[in-house]
Amino acid sequence: MITRYAAELATAGTTAALGIVTMIGATEYGIGWGKSGPEPGTFPFYTGLIVALASAGIVAQTVVARGKFTTPFLTAAQLRPVLAFSLPIVAFVIASLVLGLYVATALYLLATMVFQAKYRLRVALPIAVAVPIGLYLLLEKAFQVSLLKGPLEGMLGL
């Protein structure tokens, strides 16, 4: 189980780090007064500083009121469905980059429906094929918006 306390600290720590990274990145472009007014890094430098300071404030608040944050952030029982939902999404993104969005969509829908929701193939397959075809007709035909394509579309000459 992850406690709310740990999650609060980890998140505030991460945002503080992002703030500092922004500040460091901003110094590259100058944070002072240049020939044409404030240099390009000035504004991001201060927004980074604000993020870092506010995050530090959250850390302080959390540590001081530690007793208030003992509730769970994520229990073991919740972790399973969350991972079962999110890991296939990561696989879907990777598949999209390799096979294109249409093919990845079909595979992703088929896999989640058959392996997770235990649908029969003859129910799942038509849905998994119909969705990308519908998307293709809507985007490429109706709106002339081109989607990420892979080797299969190349073979089909689309």
Partner 1 sequence: MDGIASLLHGFGVALTAYHVMLMVIGVMLGLLVGVLPGLGAPNGVSLLLPLTFTMDPVAAIILLTSTYWGALFGGSTTSILFNIPGEPSSVATTFDGYPMAKQGRATEALSYAFLSAGFGALLGVVLITLLSGWVARFALKFSSPEYFAVYFLAFASFIGLGGASPLKTIVSIGLGFSLAAVGMDSISGSLRLSYGFDSLVPGISFLVAVIGLFGLGELVVTIEEGLKIDGIRARLSLRDVLRTAADMPRHWLALLRSGAIGCWMGITPGGPTAASFMSYGLAKRFSRKGARFGQGEPEGVISPETADHAAGTSAMLPMLALGVPGSATSAVMLGGLMIWGLNPGPMLFIERPDFVWGLIASMYLANVVAVVLVLTTVPMFAAILRTPFAVIGPIIVVVCFVGAYTVASREFDLWLALAFGVVGYIFKKLDYPIAPMVLAMVIGDKAEDAFRQSLIMSKGSPAIFWANPLVTTLMSLGLLLLLWPLIARLVAVARRPIP
Q: Which residues of the chain form contacts with partner 1 (CB under 8 A)?
A: 4, 7-8, 11-12, 15, 18-19, 21-22, 25-26, 29, 33, 36-44, 47-48, 50-51, 54-55, 57-58, 61, 73-74, 78, 81-82, 85-86, 88-90, 92-93, 96-97, 101, 105, 108-109, 112-113, 116-117, 119, 127, 131, 135, 139, 143-148
Shortest spacing between CB 147 and partner 1, in angstroms: 6
Token output for 158? 């689309």
Shortest spacing between CB 79 and partner 1, in angstroms: 9
Q: How many CA atoms lie within 13 A of 141 on its CB side?
A: 8
Is 11 or 153 the residue whose CB approaches partner 1 more closely? 11
Shortest spacing between CB 158 and partner 1, in angstroms: 16
Shortest spacing between CB 116 and partner 1, in angstroms: 6
Is 146 or 157 the residue whose CB approaches partner 1 more closely? 146
Instruction: Output the CA angle 19-23-26, nearest 5 degrees.
Output: 135
Q: How many CA atoms lie within 13 A of 51 on its CB side?
A: 19
Look at residues 111, 94, 108, 100 and name the one whose alpha carbon lies nearest to residue 140: 100
Is 15 or 153 the residue whose CB approaches partner 1 more closely? 15
Q: Tell me phi and psi for residue 65, to 5 degrees.
A: -100, 45
Neighbours of 51 (CB within 10 A): 19
Shortest spacing between CB 155 and partner 1, in angstroms: 20
Q: What is the 3-state secondary structure of 67-101? A: HHHCCEEECHHHHHHHHHHHHHHHHHHHHHHHHEH
